[in-house]
Amino acid sequence: MSKGNKPTIRDVANAADVSLATVSYVLSGRLGGTTRISQPTQDRVLAAVKELGYVPNQAARGMRRGKTDVVAVAIGDLEWPWDRALATAAARILPQHGYQPVILLGEDWRKFMMSGGADGVIIGYFPEARSEDRTITELARRGVAQVVISGTMKPGGFDVLAPEQDAGLQECMAFLTASHRRIACIRRAEPAGRPKSRFAAYAAGLEKAGIPLEETLVRTSGHRPDIAYRSALQLLQLPDRPTAIFATDDMEALQAIRAAYRLGLRVPEDIQIVGVGNSTEGQNYDPPLTTVGPEPIFEQVVRMLLDRLAGSAPPEGVRVPAPWKLHRRGTTLD
């Protein structure tokens, strides 16, 4: 081996005085079949690996086996608590089962998966307006393991975890309108074609309670924490400021709490704040965030994909509902 070059499998074979095939069998762990390799030979190969500092080329091994041992996690933005929680769960659980997680933002997951970059994918970034998707359909045809988080898609050779948020949002607005008449809303940006269900639930809740929707009490976050923070500051400095804020995402709600503290307001005594998502950040905040969302689902999503990778999921796919409810915590009063 020349100085400065990385050791190769051939270097290991030469150092251990064995064949390339023997090194391959030892490193792959395929020792229980028809090929028998003595323990002293195995020890000699492993000693050579350690001495040379040899690291197997996982990508090349994956191509030969038809596997990559990689799982992709497709999300929208790491700034958002929901996406970050999904990425965190995948990063913690997948390596325990021999898979390397790769986090992909936005639409990048399509090209990556179609090129054979991973054995499976968890799709947490998916426009809810679609009921089918060509990329997902093609990947299912190829036998790629997939779990999609979607309220509209139906299984088709892949599994779907389906958020069911309507009942929880209605419960939230009934709770707020029982005690408040001036309820502001910080809404996330909505991509073209996506149903505005969270904001629609806010508007419907006001209407049901006989409260007019005031445009001055509505702000858009632009999908950014800094804009959500400024929006909350503006709302809380209105001459007739709201007594409650409904934020369509936990990130926006946490920024609203920051803004309230900046202005010297107490939460929940002076302003009550509710988010959507039931994120870990919200649960661990001070005070803990009242929010609408499912019970924690991120570990469940990852284990659904592991089941499909292991071949234990039904070939046609399953749909697992995830009902949402109101989780009352420290940012609202009873």
In the chain, what are the domain boundaries?
Answer: 9-56, 66-164+296-323, 166-293
pLDDT given at position 31: 47
pLDDT given at position 199: 93
pLDDT given at position 107: 83
With beta carbons less than 8 A apart as the criterion, state whether 70 and 94 touch. Answer: no
pLDDT given at position 193: 44
Name the H helices within the chain. 9-16, 20-28, 39-52, 58-65, 81-93, 108-114, 134-141, 166-177, 197-208, 225-236, 250-262, 280-284, 298-309
pLDDT tens, position by position, 258-317: 999 999 999 999 999 999 989 888 999 999 999 999 887 889 999 999 999 988 889 999
pLDDT of 182 over the 90 cut: yes
pLDDT given at position 5: 72
Residue 190: pLDDT band with limits 50, 70, 90: low
Match domain 9-56 to its CATH number in 3.40.980.10, 3.40.50.620, 3.30.465.10, 1.10.260.40. Answer: 1.10.260.40
Q: Which two tokens stand for residue 230?
A: 């400024």
User: Do 9-56 and 66-164+296-323 share a fold?
Assistant: no
pLDDT of 32 over the 50 cut: no
Between 182 and 80, name the one with better pLDDT. 182
- Reduced to 3 states, what is the DSSP secondary structure of residue 272? strand
Residue 28: pLDDT band with limits 50, 70, 90: low
pLDDT given at position 33: 45
Residue 2: pLDDT band with limits 50, 70, 90: very low
pLDDT given at position 181: 97
pTM of the model: 0.71
| Mean pLDDT for the chain overall | 87
pLDDT given at position 56: 61
Residue 34: pLDDT band with limits 50, 70, 90: very low
Query: What does R_g of the chain's alpha carbons equal in angstroms?
Result: 26
pLDDT given at position 3: 53
Poorest-pLDDT segment among 31-45, 106-120, 160-174: 31-45
- Rounded Cα gap, residues 216 and 248, in angstroms: 17
- Rounded Cα gap, residues 165 and 162, in angstroms: 9
Q: Which two tokens stand for residue 251?
A: 């990130």
CATH code of the region 166-293:
3.40.50.2300
Average pLDDT over residues 164-190: 93
Query: Does 3.40.50.150 match the CATH number of domain 66-164+296-323?
Result: no
Over pLDDT 90: what percentage of the chain?
A: 58
Contacts of 298 (CB under 8 A, 6+ apart): 85, 86, 88, 89, 90
Select from 166, 172, 205 the least CA-distant residue to 323: 166
pLDDT of 175 over the 80 cut: yes
